[in-house]
Each structure stands twice: as structure tokens, then as C-alpha cells.
Structure 1
Amino acid sequence: MCGRYSLSKSKIDLEERFQAEMLADFKPRYNIAPTQLVPVITSDSPKGFSFFYWGITPDFGQNKPVSQKLINAKAETVHEKISFKSSFERRRCLVPADGFFEWKRLGKKTKIPNRFTLRDDSLFSFAGIWEEYEGLSGEVQHTFLILTTTPNELVEEVHDRMPVILSRENEKKWLDKYTSEAELLNMLKPYPVELMVSYPVSPLVNSVQNDSPGIIRKTSPMDQFGNYTLFG
């Protein structure tokens, strides 16, 4: 499962990388969590960033644990399941990111958060699908899900799934409504392990209330007392 990611680059970086216009006043995000409103690029509007809720909207997801929120879709079955099939065929999106988090279990109670990025620390995009529907108060709202696949060797050390990271050459094809189903499914593979790195980060990431640059800094290993210390 991909349950947390970062988008710590600037508005200018995003616009240049994706060749899309950001109308909103975007600020870097270090700890993006489900139900939050974040930028995506949709098949309907590929030249601009749209802001959609990840998974479900805050009002609908209030007081529900993350485990009960629908935030991901399996790449292996997204084209078959009734709940995802229409979105996969007609409403695909890019989800810009520069890293994602997973927790490595040590013992029965201890989990160490790890951040995964591209080796050059550049922006990339997850493969996503989106949906439009009427909210509880009658207004039209938009949500998206991130597609996941089997992990590469790096992510496999921590988790049994990883988000689908699209290559740059596949991003336009992912948004193109004329791309065949076979081509789309062929894109949904683990990202090459040699192009990725990972490192432990502060347990500050555990709380969705924390959203600061310190979250994505590399931390030292736990000492014998189980404490974390940020590198200078």
C-alpha cells in the first residue's frame, strides 16, 4: 500500500517538469496523506494541474482509520474490477511526487519509516485514476487513487507492494485516451531498482499533522534506546 508521499519541489519546478500550468498558490508538501487536496494532471486537462482529494474527501472519511479508506488500486486487476474499470478506461491521471514512504517492521512493535526516491531526487509521477461525484452537500467533487504493483528489490525489503511510477516517455501515453488497454497494462510494472534509493526518516512522518522539511531528511539509525536523531 502507498499511504504517504511527498511533493517537496517548488511550483516552478512542477510547471517545468510537467509542462502544465499551476493556477493555485502551491506550497511544497512533505507528508501528503489520504483525504488531502493535492495536485494531479488529468486526461481531461493535461495542460494544467487540478486539485483532487486523495482517496475520499475529508467529510466522508472523518474518523475512519487509513486502513478503511480506499486510496490505492491494484494494477493487476484495475481493468477488471467494476469499481475501477470505467476510471481506468476514461479517467486516468498523473500524480506528481518526489518520494513516498513505507514502514519497515523491526520486532513486534517497532516500525521505522523509510523514504523512497529516484536516484537523482527528481520529480516523477504515480499512475492514477480519478472519479467525479456529488458530495454530501451536493457539490461536485473529485478524488483519485494511486495504482500499486509488486515491489522491486529495494521496496521489497520493506513492503509487498509499491506505487506504480511511470517513466517520462509513458506519461503522455497514460493520459492519451487512444492508448490501448494492452499498452496501459504494460506500463504498470515495478520501477527499475537501479534508478531508486531509500533511506530512514524521522518518525515525525507518522503523524499527518506534521508537514515540514525535517520529515524528508535522512536520519541516523536507532540507538540502543530506540531514539532517532536527525543528521545535522
Structure 2
Amino acid sequence: MCVNYHSPTREQFGTLGAFSELPADWRWPDEVWKDYSAPIIRAGVDGRPSACLASYGMVPRRRIPPGVKPFDTMNARAESLGERRSFAPAWRRLQLCAVPMAWFYEPCYESGRALRHAIGMHDDSPFMVAGLWREWTEADGTVESSFTQITINADQHPLMSRMHKPGDEKRSLVVIAPDELEDWLACRDVETARSFLRHYPSERMKDWAAPQTVRKAAPEPSPNLSLF
């Protein structure tokens, strides 16, 4: 499962076609981990793609009740979207989003041990990954957003089947084709939305060995500076 990705730079966002520029005071890390804030794209009030900052993981760690064993919600399995308590409400309400990425990371065991690999587009362009979002009301009345990314089985995908530990099920993020972004965000029934949950052609993707980095503690949540 992907739990870490590299976000596009501010300059790269202009090539994604969803918007022209982001607010100057938005800040996000290059590498995104659980509970980090990063930009996502969702449908605005006018129906057009719009951006907001959201926390990575549908249920932020600070939202897990005391006494409950911590759990991760960075990935939502397509097969159980309508069943999992953490994701089903957003899926049924079609709270769909797209997560901009430059590349994401997975472990590759082809050498006999886990090596970190980056996976991105063959032409190095940024891309969008299918996800879900939800909102949380804070004690002071402000509203914060969080998100998860959707995964599908990848046992037969030429590239993604090479990732993860031998014997484990192979999984992949769902890359949304650029010309399908608005249609994905505008879905009005779950069956139509489910039709988007398919593999991206492997010949348009590539992977490469990526140096391991040290994960820092998650920063404090940023204000939700939604564009809509």
C-alpha cells in the first residue's frame, strides 16, 4: 500500500489544468506522509475542479478516540468502499477528490530485499490519483478536511505487480487520466464512480530506485483555506 508520495511543486500545479494558481500562503511538504497537509482537488460549488488543503489519512490520528488502537486510513480498498466505516459515508455521498502527485513510493523486493522505488509517469508529468474526502469540525468551529486514496488489485499489472513483498496481494493507486478528471469529480452515482477505478496503462508509467528519506513528525494542521 502506498503511504508516502511526492507532491508536485507549486509551479507544476499550473500544468495540471485544474486551476491557474494556488494561494501564495499555502505551504505543504515535498514528501507527504500520514497526517501531513497537502493539496487535493474536488468539485467546487460551480462544479469545476477546485483545490483545498487536506490532511493525508481519512481519519487523522488526533481524531482516533482515547483507548482505541491507532489505525491507518491513507488507503481505501475499492472492493470495500461501501462497507468500511471510515470510508463508506464519503463514498455513498460521492465525496470524490483527486490527489495531485509527482510520483509515489512503494517497496520493491526484486533484489531479495525491500528497496524503495518511486513510481510516476513516463514523461515525468504530474498526475492525479482517485480519492475520497471528508470534513471535521474543530472545537473553535473551523472546518478541516482530510482525504484518502483509493487502491485496486494489481496482480496482473505489469509494473505494479512487481511491488510489495512476495506473497502479499499486489495493490495500486488509481491514476485518473487528465481528460477524465472533471467527469470523475462530477460523478452522481456510485456505479459510475466505480467505473473509473481501473488501471492506468503501464507503458505510460515508470519506476526507479529512490533514496530513503527520514520521515519527520507530522506538522500541526494548517487552516483549511478552501478555494470554494
* 2:169 is the alignment partner of 1:170: no
1:49 partnered with 2:51: yes
Give the total of aligned pairs: 199
Judged with a 3 Å threshold, the aligned counterparts in structure 2 of structure 1 residues 136 and 54 are, in CA distance, closer, same or farther, namely farther
More helix by share: 1
| Cα shift at 1:173 | 1.1
2:102 is equivalent to residue 98 of structure 1: yes
Alpha-carbon RMSD across the aligned residues, in angstroms, is 2.5
- The corresponding residue for 2:40 is 40
Are the aligned partners of 2:94 and 2:190 in contact in 1 as well (CA < 8 Å)? Answer: no
Tell me by how many angstroms 1:7 deviates: 1.7
Alpha-carbon distance in 2 for matches of 1:90, 1:184: 8
Q: Which amino acid aligns with 1:18?
A: G
Task: Identify the residue that residue 80 of structure 2 maps to in structure 1.
Answer: 77
Amino acid across the alignment from 2:7: L
Give the aligned partner of residue 205 of structure 2: 196
1:125: how far off?
0.5
Shift of 1:140: 2.5
Which segment is superposed worse, 195-204 or 45-54? 45-54
The whole-number CA distance in structure 2 between the counterparts of 1:26 and 1:137 is 21
Give the whole-Å Cα distance in 2 for the aligned partners of 1:177 and 1:187: 10
Alignment correspondent of 1:215:
none
CA distance in 1, matches of 2:85, 2:28: 35
Q: Letter of the 1:75 partner, please give it.
A: A
1:112 maps to 115
Partner SS for 1:187: coil
The counterpart of 1:209, out of the listed 173, 193, 216, is 216
- Give the aligned partner of residue 143 of structure 2: 140
Which residues of structure 1 form unaligned runs of 5+? 62-66, 211-232
Q: Read off the aligned partner of 1:102 and give its amino acid letter.
A: E
CA contact (8 A) 2:73 2:86 kept: no
Q: For 1:60 and 1:140, locate their aligned partners in 2 and report how far apart those are by CA, in whole Å.
A: 13
Q: In the alignment, which residue of structure 2 is the partner of 1:221?
A: none
Per-residue CA deviation, residues 67-94 of structure 1 (Å, 9 max, x unaligned), is 8321110112213445423312331111
Identity %: 23
Cα distance, 1:139 vs. partner? 4.0
Task: Quote the residue 2:160 is aligned against.
Answer: 155
SS of structure 1 residue aligned to 2:80: coil
1:24–1:38 CA distance, 2 compared to 1 (3 A): farther
Q: Is the 8 A contact 1:115 1:201 kept in 2?
A: yes
TM-score normalised by L of structure 2: 0.77
**How far 1:60 moved relative to its partner?**
4.2
Is 1:86 equivalent to 2:95 in the alignment? no
Matched residue SS, 1:68: coil
